[in-house]
Structure 1
Amino acid sequence: MFEHRENIEDINFYKYWLILQRRKVVVFSVFGLIVALTSLFILSLKPSYQTEASVLIKTNRSSSLTGLGEILGKIESLTLQGNPLDTQAQIIVSRPIIEKAIRELDLRDKKGRLLPVKAFSSLKATGAKGTDIIQISYTDENPVRAAKFVNKIIEIYIQQNIQANRAEAVSASKFILEQLPKTAASVTRAESDLRQFKENHRIISLAQEESAGVQAIASLEDQLARTQAELASVNARLQRLQKQASIDSEQTVILASLSQAPGLQQILTQLQEARTQLAVARTRFHPQHPQVLNLEEKTATLNKLLQEQAKQVFGDNPPPGLKNFQIGELRQGLLQDFARVETERLALEKKITTLSQQLAAYKDRAKQLPKLEQTQRQLERKLQASQTTYESLLKKLQEVQLAENQNIGNVRIVSPAFIPEQPTASRKQLILGGGIVIGALMGIIAALALDLMDQSLKTVKEAKELFQYTLLGVIPAISDGSKKSILRRQETGEQIPKIIDRDIPHFPIGDAYQILQSNLNFLSDQQLKSLVVTSSLPKEGKSFVAANLAVTAAQMGRKVLLVDADMRHPIQHHIWGLSHQHPVGLSNLITNQMNTITPIEAVIPNLSILPCGTLPPNPLSLLNSQRMTELVQSFVQDFDLVIFDTNSVLGTADASTLGRLTDGMLLVVRPGVLDVNSANAAKELLSQSSQNVLGMVINDVSKNREPESYIYYSQESVETGNPLSNLRFRKSVPKTEQCS
C-alpha cells in the first residue's frame, strides 16, 4: 500500500511543473527559437498549385470475349487484407516512372541539370475508397508543369501496364512449353506404376475380390463349424467303443495303428490261431512230435513277420505290448468298428486342418485389401492429377499464345490533369501552430533533460533522503520585493547576508528561525549551550543562518555570543557593521594578545559579536589549540548560547575541529548550490570524524518550487508581521583591512 503511494508521488505532475519553473529560461529560449525558425520558414514559402487526375484500374475483358487468357491482366492482392489498388498506386509514384517522365519532359534546374526525383516528392497516388479509381495529385510552383507532369506520369504508366501484360503472356507461354514434356512423362510414369501394382498383387477388381472374399470366409467358417461338430460326435463314439472293448490307452494306440495297417492285423489273427493250435497239440503229443514242431515253426515265422510289419508301421520302436496284443473272437466286431471310427476321426481332423488353412489365407488377404485399396487410390489420383495437369497446360498454351497478340491494358483515363488556375490554400497557420506545439514540447524536453543532468540537490525531500539528518528548519527564499538594500563587498561584489527586522521583514523568515530555535531546544532535556554552524560548500548561507539564528535566540531572551570562526573568509563584521576601531577578535584571543572581554561587542540586546580578528597563516592550528578549548569553556560559562560561524566542511578541517569542542554541529544545506557528490563527500567526512550533527537546516527554499509543503504562511502572520521595533542595529561601515 505504501509502495503504491510512493509510486504515485514519483509521477506527480506537480513535481515536473516545478522543474519547468526552475528551467523556465531554457523552456522559453527553446520555444522562442523554434517559433522564430517556423516564422522564417513561413515567410519563405511561395504559392503552389495542385493538379489532380484519376485513372480506372479494371480487369482486361478482351480475353473473356474469346474465352482464352482470362487470368492474364487480372489485378489481385496477395493477402486478404491488402488492396490491389494500393499496389498500383505505389507503382505510379515509383522512381522508374518519375525518372522517365523527367527525361521525356526534359525538366531541368537553373544549372541545366535534370531535376532529381526528390524534387517531385509531392506526387501522390491514392485509391478512392469503395471504387477501382486511383486519384493522382501533384503540387508545383508552376501550374503548367504540374499538369504536364501528371499527364506524362499517366501515359508512361499505361504503356508499362500494356508491356507488363504482354511480358506476362510470353513468360507464361515459355513456361508451359517447358512443362509439357515433363507432364507427359509424368502421365506415362503414373500409368506404368498403376499397371505394375495390379500385376504384382494379382488385382483385377478389388471391390469384387472383397465381396467374394467375404462370402468365401463365411462359407469356410460354416464348413469348419460343421466339421468340428462331426469330429466331436466321432470322438464320443470312439470313447464308447473303447470302453465296450476294454481297450486301454496303450492298446488304443496300437489299435489305431493297426486300423491303418490291414496286413499287420491279418498276421496277428494268424499268430493267435497258430498259438491256439500249438497249445492243443502239446496236450496231445510229445514235444518232439512233428505236428508240435511244425506249429512251433509256424508261430516263430508269424512272430518274425509281425516284427517286420511292426517296424514298417511303428518304426524301430514298436510298442512293448504288441507281442502280447491279441484280438479275441468276441471283440473282433468292436475292434473293427473302433478302427473304422478312428479312420473317420483322422479324416475329419485333416479336413479341419485344411479348412482352417483356407480360412486363414482368406482372412490374411482380407486384411491386405484396405492397404491395397489405399495404394491403388493413391496411384489412380496421381495418374488423374498428371492427366489433368497435362490437359490444362495444353489449354493454357492456346490461351497465352492468343494473349500475346493483344494490345489492351488494365488502365483507362477517367479524368486527365488540367492546369490549375488558383494556388492551393495556404497552410501557414497550420505550420505556425505545429511550430508552437513542437517548440513547447522541445522546450519541455530540454528543461527536463537539463534538470536530469543537473547533479545539484533541488528540493528539501532530496536533501532529507541524501543526508538522513534531522530536519530542524526550512528557511524560505527572500523574494525580490523584500530586498530593501543590497550590501556588497568592494572587491568581489559578494552579497552581504541580511538580518531580520533590520534588512528584511520579520515575516516569513523570522517565523522560520523561531521554529529552528524551538527545534534546537527540543533536541535534548539539557539546554543547548554551544553549536557550530557550517555547510558542505561555500555560498550555502551558513553565515546568514548563524547571524539570524543568533538574533532569534536573543529576541527570545537568551544571552547569545556569535563567534566568527571562519578565519579564511570572515564576514560577520561586515554583517554587523563593526567599526574599524575593533580590528581584534578570536585569533587575537587565541594568541593571548588580550583578555577575553576586549574584542566582544554587543550589537543588540542579549547578542554580542566576536569577530575573527587578524587573519592567521594557519587557522587550523589556532582552532586545534588548548587555548581555543579554554576559550570555548569560558564562553559557555559567560553566555547562554554560543554560536560559531565556521568554514565549510569540504576543503578544510576547521569545522570538524571546532565541532568536537561544542555540543554539536548544525549543517546548512542550500538547494541548487550543493551537488550530490559534494553532499555525499561531506556526509562521509562528518561520519568519519564522529561529529555530533544536531540536524540540518535547508536554506533559500522557494515555496513555489517545492513539491512538499514544508513552508506554511498563515493569514495572521501576514497581517501582524510580528516586528521587533525596539531593536537598534549599528549602521554598516566599510570593512577593515585586517578582516578582509
Structure 2
Amino acid sequence: MNDATRPVQAAEEAEIDLGLLIAQLWAGRTWIVGFMTGAAFLALAHLVNTPPTYEADALLQLEAKAGSMALPEAFSAIAEIEPQSATEVEILRSRFVLGEAVAGTHLDWRAVPVRLPILGHAVASGRLPLPDLDTLSAYDRGDARIRLDMLEVPPEWINRKIRLTAEGEGHFTLRLPDDSLAEGRVGVPLSLPGKGFGLRIGELEGPAGRAFVILQRDETEAIRSLRQRLSVAERGRGSSILEVSLTGADPDELQRTLGAVTEAYLRQNMSRSAAEAQSSLDFIERQLPEARAAVTKAEERLNAYRQAQQAIDLGFEGQSLLTQIAAAETELRQLAAEEEDLAERYTKQHPVYQKLLSARARLEERLASLRRETTELPETQREVFNLTRDLEVAQQVYLQLLNRAQELSVLKASTLGNVRIVDTARTEPAPIAPRRGRVLALALLLGALGGAGFVLGRHWLRRGVRGAEEIDRMGLPVFATVLFAPSIACNHRQKGALPILAVTDPEALTIEGIRSLRTSLHFGMLDAQSRSIAFTSSAPEAGKSFLAVNLAVVAADAGQRVCLIDADLRRGRIRRYFGVGKDEPGLSSYLAGDAALDDLLRPTQIPGLAVMTSGRYPPNPSELLMRPALSQLLTELDRRFDLTIVDAPPALAVTDPVVIGRAVGATIAVVRHDVTTPSEIEALIRQLKGAGVKPAGAVLNAYRPEVGRDAYGYGYGYHYQYSYQSRAKD
C-alpha cells in the first residue's frame, strides 16, 4: 500500500442509473408508504374539517338594441348600441352594482355560532363528537342557528365583535365591544339610544350557553369580499352571453345574493339607457324654442316683403326652381350618407365608389346650374325666392327637432336596457369543493413524491461506500466483502445476549464472506511478526464486534486455536455474545495488574476458542492500553494460540486503536457498505498513519446489492460519544 492516501476518483461522466434509483426507492419503500399514509391522513383530516363550497350561477345576454319595442326607423338608427362585453363585465363587478347588492341582502351583517378552534367544522357537522363539558358548552355542535333582522351600530363598533350567549326560552345576553352587558329577547327590538346601538334577533336556536358572534362589517370590506367570490366571463368569444357565478358555503345565501347582484346590474343598465335618452331629450328641448323663433322670423320677413312689394308668389318658374333645388340638396345628403358607408368597405378606386362620386359630381353641377338660373329671375321674384327658401329650411329644422323629441320621449318611456336575464340565479345542489377523490389522489401522489424525495435525498446527502473498488482506489486492499445479515440486524439493539450467526446459521452467505476473510488473512499474515489482528472502524455501528466474533468462531471451526479479546474498554460488547456479566474481570483487570492471564481466559462452547472480555470500564482506558502489559499479553497469546483477534474501538472517536495497532501484527479497517463515507476512510487512514500504524487492509461489511439503506429497518444513527464512565444499563 502506498504511504500517501489517494483520493477517490470522480466518475468521468455523471450518468443516472435508472436501475439504481429503482433499487433505492424499493429499499426505502417503508418510508414512501409512511409518507403516503401520513399524507392520506392529513387529507382526510382536511376533508373532515373543511366545509363544502357551493356555487350559484346566472346567465345574462347583452343585446344590440336598447329595447324590443317596435319603433320608427329613425329612432332605431339612434337607439342601436353595440354590446361591449369587457366593459359590461367591469360594470357588473363595480362597487356601484355590488354595493347595492350588499345593502339589499345585508352582506355587511355577520351572525354565526362560535365554533371550536381548528376543528370547528368537524364538530359542527357531527363528524367529531365533543364532550359535554361546561367549558365547551359555548361551541357549536350543529344545533345552533341565528337570524338577524336588524342591526345598527355606532361607527366605532364597525368590524368589532359582539358576543351573544343564549340563555334559553328565547332570552339572550350580549357582551358589547365596550365590555358592557345587555339582555334581550328574540323578536323584540333591543335599542340603546345612548350608544347608537339597535338589534333585533328574528330567530335563535340552541341550548343555553351556546355562543354567537355578531359583527357589522365595513361596507368596503363586504364589497371586496363579494367581488372575490364573484366570477364573470363571456361564454364563447363574441357571444355577448355573460356567465356569472358566485361561490360560498351557504346555498340559500348564494342564490339570494347572486340574484340581488344581477337585479342591481339590470336596474343600473336600464337607468343608464334612460339617462342617455333624457340627456338627448333635454338638449333637443333646449333647441326647440330657438328653432320655433327662427321659423317665426322667416315667416315675418317673407310676409313683410310681399306686402311691401305687392308680390304674392314666386310664379311658376320660381316655384319650379325652388322645388328642383330642394330635391337636389336632399339627394346630395343621401349620397353623402352612402359615401360614409362605402368608405368603410371599399377604396376610392373601386367601381362602386367611383359610380357614387360620378353621381355626386353630376348633382353638384346641376345644383350649381339651378342656383345660376335663380339669378336670372326678376329682382322681386329672386328676393321672394330667397325668403321662401329660408322659411322652408327653418321649418324643416324645427320639424326634425320636434320629431326627434317625440322619439326620445318614447325611448325614455320604453327603456328596457340592453341586458336580459336568460337564466336566473340558482345554486347547484352538489358542492363544487372539496372534491374528495381528487384531494385524496393528490395527497397520495404528493406523499409518494415526498417519500421518494426523502429517500433519494437522504441517500444523496449521506453517500457511503458503494463497492470494494472505491476502497481499493484509496490504496487500502479489501480482504473480503461480507453480505448484510437481516436476521442479525433486526436483533442488534436487543437487550441481553446476542446470537452468533456462525453458530445459529453457519450456511448463511454472510458466513461464507467471513470464511473468505479467514482465508485472505491466513495468506496475508504469513510474514507477520505477530499472529494477532485488530479490527477498528471510523465510527460505531460498522460491525467490528460482529466480524470479530464470527471470524473467531469460523477460525476455531477450521482447527485453529483462537483467542478473542474485547479491547473496547468503554463500550465493549463481546461479552454479550458469550453471556458474560458486565462486572466480570477482563482485559482492564489484566492491564491494571489485578488478575492473572489464566484467570481471564474464558473457554467457550466452540472448541479451540477462548475469550477475554473488556471487564469493568476503567476511568483511564487509554493510559491502561499504553502500558507494556498489552505487548506482553499479545506475545504470550502468540505462544499459546494460532490467532489472536482484538476488537478495538472506532479510530475517529478515541485514540485507543492507535495504541492497539502498534502492538498487534495487523490492523484491519471495517467499512460498512453505504454508511461509511470515503472521507471517513481517508481520515481513518491518516489517523493511523500519523501514529506510525499502517493499516493492512479493509473489510467491506453489510454489503447489500440493492444499495438502498435501511432496507431491513437497521438504524445507522451512530455517534462518537465514548464516555469513561460505565453505563448504568447495558
For 1:433, the equivalent position in structure 2 comes to 438
Aligned residues: 467
Could you list the runs of 5+ residues in structure 2 that have no partner in the other structure? 1-9, 112-213, 280-403, 712-725
Q: How does 1:661-676 map to 2 (within 5 A)?
A: 661-670=663-672
Give the C-alpha shift of residue 684 in structure 1. 5.0
Spell out, residue by residue over 1:35-57, the C-alpha distance to the aligned partner (whole angstroms, 9 max, x if none).
Answer: 33134136x538x4634323226
Q: Secondary structure of 2:35's partner?
A: helix
Alpha-carbon deviations, 1:427-480, whole Å to 9, x = none?
66x324323422441464266358747998465429986995555445444445
1:535-560 CA-to-partner distances (Å, cap 9, x unmatched) read 33334432122111222233334432
Cα RMSD (Å) of the superposition? Answer: 5.2
Between 1:57-66 and 1:594-603, the stretch displaced more is 57-66
1:125 has 2:132 as partner: no
Q: Distance in 1 between matches of 2:512 and 2:525?
A: 22
Residue 216 of structure 2 is matched in structure 1 by: 113
Q: Provide the C-alpha distance between the structure 2 equivalents of 1:91 and 1:510, rounded to a whole number of angstroms.
A: 83
| Post-superposition offset of 1:586 | 3.2
C-alpha deviation, 1:647, in angstroms: 1.9
Q: Given that residues 663 and 692 in structure 1 are in contact (C-alpha distance below 8 angstroms), is that contact kept between their aligned partners in structure 2?
A: no
Structure 2 residue aligned with 1:82: none
Alignment partner of 2:625 out of 623, 629, 643: 623
Q: 1:461 aligns with which of 458, 466, 470?
A: 466
CA distance in 1, matches of 2:271, 2:677: 73
Equivalences for residues 90-101 of structure 1 within 5 A: 91-93=91-93, 97-101=97-101
Who is 2:133 aligned against?
A: none
- Is 1:502 matched up with 2:506? no
Note if contact 1:51-1:146 (Cα within 8 Å) is conserved in structure 2.
no
Conserved? CA contact 2:83–2:240, under 8 Å: no
Give the residue type in structure 1 aligned to 2:422.
S
1:458–1:37 CA distance, 2 compared to 1 (3 A)? farther
SS at structure 2 position matched to 1:424: coil
Counterpart position of 1:149: 257
- Tell me the TM-score normalized by structure 1: 0.51
The answer to which structure has the higher helix fraction is: 1
Matches within 5 A, 1:164-563: 411-419=418-426, 423-424=429-430, 430-442=435-447, 444-445=449-450, 448-449=453-454, 452=457, 457=462, 460-461=465-466, 468=474, 469-479=476-486, 494=495, 496-504=497-505, 506-520=507-521, 526=527, 529-563=531-565
Q: Greater strand share, 1 or 2?
A: 2
Distance 2:421 2:611 in 1: 99
* Counterpart contact for 1:499–1:548, Cα < 8 Å: yes
Once the two structures are TM-superposed, the CA of residue 515 in structure 1 deviates from its matched residue by 3.5
Once structures 1 and 2 are overlaid, which stretch shifts more, 543-552 or 523-532? Answer: 523-532
**Closer, same or farther in 2 for the Cα pair 1:507/1:593, shift >3 Å?**
same
Under a length normalisation based on structure 2, what TM-score does the superposition of the two structures give? 0.52
Matched, 1:52 2:58: yes
- SS of structure 2 residue aligned to 1:573: helix
Secondary structure of the structure 2 residue equivalent to 1:543: helix
What amino acid is aligned across from residue 430 of structure 2 in structure 1? T
In the alignment, the residues of structure 1 paired with residue 484 and residue 453 of structure 2 have an alpha-carbon distance, to the nearest angstrom, of: 23
Q: Alpha-carbon deviation of 1:695?
A: 3.9
- In structure 2, relative to structure 1, the CA distance for the partners of 1:587 and 1:37 (3 Å cut) is closer
AA in 2 matched with 1:685 = Q
Partner of 1:721: none
| Aligned counterparts of 1:635 and 1:537: Cα–Cα separation in 2 | 28
Contact 1:30 1:443 in 2 (8 A): no
Three-state SS of the structure 1 residue aligned to 2:101 is helix
The question of whether the paired residues in 2 share the 8 Å contact of 1:474 and 1:698 is answered with yes
Distance 1:519 1:511 in 2: 12
**CA-CA distance at 1:658 after TM superposition:** 0.8
Residue identity opposite 1:538 in structure 2 = P
CA contact (8 A) 2:574 2:613 kept: yes
Which amino acid is the alignment partner of residue 448 of structure 1?
A: G
Deviations 1:487-537 (A, max 9, x none): 98xxxx745442124345641331232233345457687579332112333
**Shift in Å at residue 633 of structure 1?**
3.4
CA distance in 1, matches of 2:638, 2:223: 89
**Following TM superposition, by how much is the alpha carbon of 1:645 offset from its aligned partner in structure 2, in angstroms?**
0.8
2: CA distance between counterparts of 1:170 and 1:683? 99
Describe the SS at the equivalent of 1:661.
coil
Could you tell me whether the CA contact under 8 Å between 2:565 and 2:647 is conserved in 1?
A: yes
Alignment match, 1:357: none
Deviation at 1:599, TM superposition (A): 3.1
- Quick one: distance in 1 between partners of 2:659 and 2:682? 20
